[in-house]
Amino acid sequence: MASTTDTEKHPRGLYVLFFTEMWERFSYYGMRAILLLYLIKSAAEGALGLPEDTSGAIYGLYTSSVYLLTLPGGWIADNMLGQKKAIWWGGIVIMIGHILLAIPGSNPIFFLGLCTVAVGTGLLKPNISSIVGDLYPEGGARRDAGFSIFYIGINLGSFLGMTIVGYLGEKVGWHYGFGAAAVAMFLGLVGFRLNSKYLDGLGDPPMVKSKPTFIYVVIGLLLVIAALLVSGVLNAISLAEVMKYVIVTITILYFFYIGMLDKTLSIVERKRVAVLFVFFIGAALFWSGFEQAGSSLTIFADRHTDRVIGGWEMPASWFQTANAFFILVFSAPIGALWVYLNRKKINPYTPVKFGLGLIQMGLGFLVMYWAAQYAVEGIKVGLGWLTLTYLLHTLGELFLSPVGLSTYTKLAPKKYYSQMMGLWFVAASLGNLIAGVFAGNFNEENVAEMPSLFLQVCLFGVGFGIVMILFYKPFKNWMGGIQ
């Protein structure tokens, strides 16, 4: 069993997971940083030259599927493979996906690559996060601290990936960027395999394995969607519309089944599931604003921001590194702030942190509302606007995301551990889809609408944030004593 020598030190296994996730996020965010640009930019620039609405829908569908597939990915680990094998196979599938993307000149292979990366990430992402929770069976503040360190790994990978893949993709050739993502995942797999001894006794296959009926249903659904797309009954835009409802329905059914129908759970456990549902809504709203980093905000960086520094034009995708950079800078101070407030016994309850996270996301869009007014007049704005937005979004993320991850591992009924982790990422799935579809409104003909589009997001974020803060007491009570 992985153990710690003293209460302060973190288990070695954390660093194995840290680096594996770092390389996985390098590949994910690196590729994602250039994905929308690759879809939108013209064939003359070596890209696909698709219209904004189709590109936004494809981008939204891809990023949303990546996180939606964490549900079957969590199920496979809980019921069949165990987390460790799921991570290993997930990583291999992701690497194959990026290799497919790196093959130039064929759209079907490119889209097959996107699907492959999504399936692999669904297997890897929830399970690597749930093993982090397993490293700290006692839960509590040490588990939170473990997740904060893990979160640094995520963002280190994201920063390096966006910088390197972004540069290669935009300045050298798109497919070199995608190839670099494959190499990164390979490095992650090697590190995971070589150091697997530090995870002994964790994430092993379950004693009693379930029949894969659920997975057959998922595969069946995916085949139906593929058939509808290939036959032209649905296109990317209409599928994205349908997907929103599909995700909301799946989520409600899943929560309803676990919280209401599974009679083996106690009342306390069910109340916790209800709180997780509220956190789900908060997180979905947060991500639908935040995840515009890769969609509308990158379009804004590309078209309306003056990116020339000393005669050299910075790649538009590099803006997205601001988020990872600020996480690296602010993780430790914010972690220390929680410890300090805890000591003073005034550490905000999780629902309040969620509320504050949402408000900061909303304020980031208030900044964009101003910036967009200059853009409407045809002025290319300075680098500061987007940077300030990313700062606010990142601070909001630090209030909400590591806390949410950790809280999900603490409140989840044991039996549904990785699936609950999957549900946390489904909130990101919904958010990403909305963020992608929303970016479809940002075409060059209706630039005038930009300020009001940004203002809408601001109002949603701030509004729901205030609601979460006002109602923190019942939510906190339903957590049943878990901090």
Chain residues that interact with ligand GLN, rule: CB under 6 A:
25, 154, 287, 401, 425, 428
Q: In terms of CB distance, is 132 or 450 closer to ligand GLN?
A: 132
Nearest approach, Cβ of residue 105 and ligand GLN (Å)? 30
Nearest approach, Cβ of residue 453 and ligand GLN (Å)? 21
Nearest approach, Cβ of residue 293 and ligand GLN (Å)? 10
Instruction: Identify which of 113, 93, 94, 95 has the alpha carbon closest to the alpha carbon of residue 103.
Output: 113
Type and span of the H or E element at 309? strand 308-309
The whole-angstrom separation of Cα 22 and Cα 453 is 34
Tokens 């990978």 locate to 157
Assigned token pair, 307: 């990116």
The whole-angstrom separation of Cα 64 and Cα 59 is 8
The whole-angstrom separation of Cα 340 and Cα 379 is 44
Q: What is the SS3 assignment for 332-388?
A: HHHHHHHHHHHHCCCCCCHHHHHHHHHHHHHHHHHHHHHHHHHHHCCCCECHHHHHH
Nearest approach, Cβ of residue 312 and ligand GLN (Å)? 28
Q: At what angle do helices 140-167 and 383-411 cross, to 10 degrees?
A: 140
Q: In terms of CB distance, is 55 or 70 closer to ligand GLN?
A: 70
Nearest approach, Cβ of residue 287 and ligand GLN (Å)? 5
Q: At what angle do helices 236-256 and 417-439 cross, to 10 degrees?
A: 150
The residue nearest ligand GLN at its CB is: 428
The whole-angstrom separation of Cα 247 and Cα 226 is 17
Q: In terms of CB distance, is 163 or 401 closer to ligand GLN?
A: 401
Nearest approach, Cβ of residue 47 and ligand GLN (Å)? 25
Instruction: Identify which of 441, 463, 440, 458 has the alpha carbon closest to the alpha carbon of residue 450.
Output: 441
Q: In terms of CB distance, is 385 or 425 closer to ligand GLN?
A: 425
Nearest approach, Cβ of residue 318 and ligand GLN (Å)? 17
* Alpha carbon distances (Å) from 362 to 193, 348, 463: 42, 20, 9
Assigned token pair, 20: 């594996």
DSSP character at residue 381: B
Direct distance between the N- and C-terminal alpha carbons of the chain, in angstroms, rounded to an integer: 26
The whole-angstrom separation of Cα 324 and Cα 405 is 17
Q: In terms of CB distance, is 265 or 421 closer to ligand GLN?
A: 421
Q: In terms of CB distance, is 364 or 451 closer to ligand GLN?
A: 364
Q: In terms of CB distance, is 34 or 428 closer to ligand GLN?
A: 428
Three-state DSSP at 313 gives: strand
> CA gyration radius for the chain?
21
Nearest approach, Cβ of residue 288 and ligand GLN (Å)? 10
Q: In terms of CB distance, is 81 or 324 closer to ligand GLN?
A: 324
Nearest approach, Cβ of residue 397 and ligand GLN (Å)? 7
Q: In terms of CB distance, is 30 or 451 closer to ligand GLN?
A: 30
